[in-house]
């Protein structure tokens, strides 16, 4: 009996089978490369360009585990999400998490396999430009952002989603977080109060602020002003550092104790957040009535 046709048939069968399996394996590898990480985190900005991510509570997650992942304390989570109070959060609930600039990786390490870093995505708002987002918001080269997102020119549209960078999938070390600082936290809560959504007339001024440079730092962000409503929140900006602090107006300026050109008296902690070096500094302020 001539066995040659049988042998050829068997070899042909094995070749087809191996080729099919190889094609399946190759297809799987290509899929895994083209979609290395399915999860993404959306990043948003506060009024002073603070960075926040919105975290959706998943099954088995707790405020404690979420706080530990982001380098915060549980109370920090409650402070930045006052609407949830101290209650147990439900699955699917969205909470806001502050993240520091240093936790945003503008460029992924070369040795990365793709799975240990989570992409961070920013959604373009009305009137924003690629230059503003890259240079002012995220401090990175414009062309790096453009090439990463396949933008042929420099034009972007409202609602467009831009891949900004990455965050370590293992979380944020607490050593990078500045939001546990009571001053920073207090300033954030004051900003929330200033932007409470109530329609009121906003007034702006330019002038000179004074603070007691050689005294111990007083606890709190507050000041004295002659026009803003008492117990209201005022926005104060130092144009030299481009920093803004929100203070509570607790009283009026005594006419006999300060110079006429000094239209705002600051607590030392407020001056510290503004980056003040001298006892007097030029400021811009906003308040509402």
Across residues 217-245, what is the average pLDDT? Answer: 87
pLDDT band at 288 (very low <50, low <70, confident <90, very high): very high
- The predicted model gives 233-237 an average pLDDT of 94
Q: Comparing 9-23, 151-165, 258-272, which segment has the lowest mean pLDDT?
A: 9-23
Q: How long, in residues, is the chain?
A: 289
Section 221-227 average pLDDT = 92
At residue 190 the predicted structure's pLDDT band, cuts being 50, 70 and 90, is confident
Helix, strand, coil percent content, the chain, rounded in steps of 5: 30, 25, 45
Q: Is 159 left (phi over 0), alpha (psi -120 to 50) or beta?
A: left
43-59: average pLDDT: 84
Mean pLDDT over residues 147-165, rounded?
Answer: 93
User: Residue 36: its pLDDT value, please?
Assistant: 30
Tell me what pLDDT residue 134 has: 93
Cα distances from 161 to residues 122, 140, 157, in angstroms, run: 6, 17, 9
Which CATH number is associated with domain 41-168? Answer: 3.10.350.10
Domain 182-288 has CATH 3.40.1160.10: no
Residue-level pLDDT at 181: 64
Burial of 133 (0-12, 13-18, 19+ CB in 10 A): buried
pLDDT per position as a tens digit, 96-136: 888 888 888 988 777 666 578 889 999 999 999 999 999 98
pTM exceeds 0.75, yes or no = no
pLDDT score, position 14: 46
* pLDDT over threshold 90, residue 78: no
**Greatest mean pLDDT among 16-20, 158-162, 254-258:** 158-162
Q: State how far the Cα of 236 lies from the Cα of 168, in Å rounded to an integer.
A: 35
| Distance between CA atoms of residues 226 and 207, nearest Å | 13
User: In the chain, where are the structural domains located?
Assistant: 41-168, 182-288
How far, in Å, CA of 165 to CA of 172, rounded?
Answer: 15
Q: Which residue has the higher pLDDT, 7 or 47?
A: 47
Predicted local confidence at residue 218, as pLDDT: 55
pLDDT at 227: 93
Give the count of beta carbons closer than 10 Å to the beta carbon of residue 52: 16
Q: Considering the chain, what is the average pLDDT of its residues?
A: 79
User: Average pLDDT for residues 262-276, to the nearest whole number?
Assistant: 88
Q: What is the dihedral of CA 132, 151, 28, 109, to 10 degrees?
A: -40
Q: Is-contact 164 138, C-beta < 8 A?
A: yes
Q: What is the pLDDT of residue 229?
A: 94
At 161, the pLDDT band (50, 70, 90 cuts) reads very high
- For the cut 70, the answer to whether the pLDDT of residue 85 exceeds it is no
| 202 in Cβ contact with 287 (< 8 Å) | yes
């Amino acid at each position: 009996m001539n066995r040659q046709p049988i042998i050829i048939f068997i070899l042909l069968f094995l070749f087809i089978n191996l080729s099919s399996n190889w094609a399946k394996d190759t297809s799987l590898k290509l899929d895994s490369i083209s979609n290395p990480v399915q999860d993404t985190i959306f990043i948003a900005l506060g009024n002073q360009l603070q960075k926040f991510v919105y975290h959706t509570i998943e099954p088995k997650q707790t405020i404690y585990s979420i706080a530990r992942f982001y380098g915060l304390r549980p109370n920090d989570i409650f402070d930045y999400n006052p609407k949830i109070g101290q209650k147990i959060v439900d699955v699917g609930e969205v909470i806001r998490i502050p993240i520091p600039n240093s936790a945003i990786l503008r460029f992924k390490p070369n040795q990365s396999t793709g799975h240990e870093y989570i992409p961070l995505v920013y959604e373009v708002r009305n009137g924003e430009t690629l230059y503003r987002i890259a240079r002012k918001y995220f401090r990175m080269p414009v062309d790096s952002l453009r090439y990463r997102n396949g933008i042929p020119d420099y034009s972007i549209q409202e609602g467009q989603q831009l891949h900004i960078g990455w965050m370590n999938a293992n979380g944020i070390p607490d050593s990078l977080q500045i939001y546990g600082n009571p001053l920073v936290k207090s300033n954030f809560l004051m900003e929330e109060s200033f932007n409470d959504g109530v329609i009121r007339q906003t007034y702006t001024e330019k002038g000179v602020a004074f603070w007691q440079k050689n005294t111990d730092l007083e606890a709190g962000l507050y000041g004295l002003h002659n026009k803003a409503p008492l117990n209201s929140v005022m926005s104060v900006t130092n144009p030299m550092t481009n920093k803004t602090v929100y203070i509570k107006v607790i009283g009026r300026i005594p006419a006999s104790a300060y110079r006429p050109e000094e239209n705002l008296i600051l607590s030392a902690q407020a001056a510290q957040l503004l980056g003040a070096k001298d006892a007097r500094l030029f400021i811009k302020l906003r308040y509402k009535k």
